[in-house]
Amino acid sequence: MEFHVITLFPGMFESPLAAGMVARAIEAGLISVTAHPLRPFGLGSYRQVDDAPYGGGSGMVMRAEPIAAAIDDVMGQHPGLMRILMTPQGEPLDQSIARELARVRPGLLLIAGRYEGIDERIRSIVDREISIGDYVLSGGELPAMVTIEAVARLIPGVLGNPESLTEESFGADTLEYPHYTRPEEFRGMRVPEILLSGDHARIRAWREAQALDRTRQRRPDLLRRGRG
Ligand code: ADE
């Protein structure tokens, strides 16, 4: 699966892609990630990409033409990508959207805005708008990386063990059960006896109950959403 990003800061994508699961998936040829610089599509000798807002007000607005030209350029070379604008006004990214996006082929073109905003008319030339949460970042680069990571790990073969996908948080509309590893006692806190029992059926039931309890306490909204 291909991930493309249009950004003023392609360098921001280097180190996050160089380590861990995403790096291994790129190495294995399961995914590719390409950061396309927006700057060359800027206007005039300064390659300007932003301008003052019509109607006044503080801050700058990203102009429509450079972004549209960059989108056309990438789509010309890689037809069929789903165009996604990263914006706090988009649909909130959750595990079910990540699952949907993981099925898109050949892949995604994520557009990372900067500054206070982008010209409203860009909205008409994207397929989807996605937010990573109800807070405002200075740009869409980190949201694009979050989206890539959330989607890439759902692609078959990217994670070593497909079971870890179905068991983990949100896979089953609950948070995860608590995990323990060695030592059996740490600062006076013991590993729950049942996990040392070797009784796999009881361990499974205990984990399910813990996951449900924890979800009820911390994120009851997830249970309501799961039923709805
Ligand atoms: N750009 C700035 N903040 C954002 C957010 N929360 N989600 C997606 N894109 C953004």
pLDDT-derived band at 164 (thresholds 50, 70, 90) equals: low
Residue type, 186: F
pLDDT-derived band at 121 (thresholds 50, 70, 90) equals: very high
What would the mean pLDDT of 150-162 be, rounded to a whole number? 90
Chain segment 165-211, per-residue pLDDT in tens? 666 655 568 999 999 999 999 999 999 999 999 999 999 999 999 99
Q: What is the pTM assigned to this prediction?
A: 0.93
pLDDT-derived band at 111 (thresholds 50, 70, 90) equals: very high
Distance 113 CA to ligand 1 centre (A): 8
Given this model, what pLDDT does residue 172 score? Answer: 66
- Please report the domains of the chain, with CATH numbers, ordered by start residue: 2-152 (3.40.1280.10), 169-227 (1.10.1270.20)
Atom of ligand 1 nearest to the CA of 138: 2
CB atoms within 10 A of CB 110: 29
| Residue minimizing CA distance to atom 9 of ligand 1 | 87
| Matching residue, tokens 């609950």 | 174
pLDDT-derived band at 228 (thresholds 50, 70, 90) equals: very low
* Lowest mean pLDDT segment, chosen from 10-24, 78-92, 110-124, 154-168: 154-168
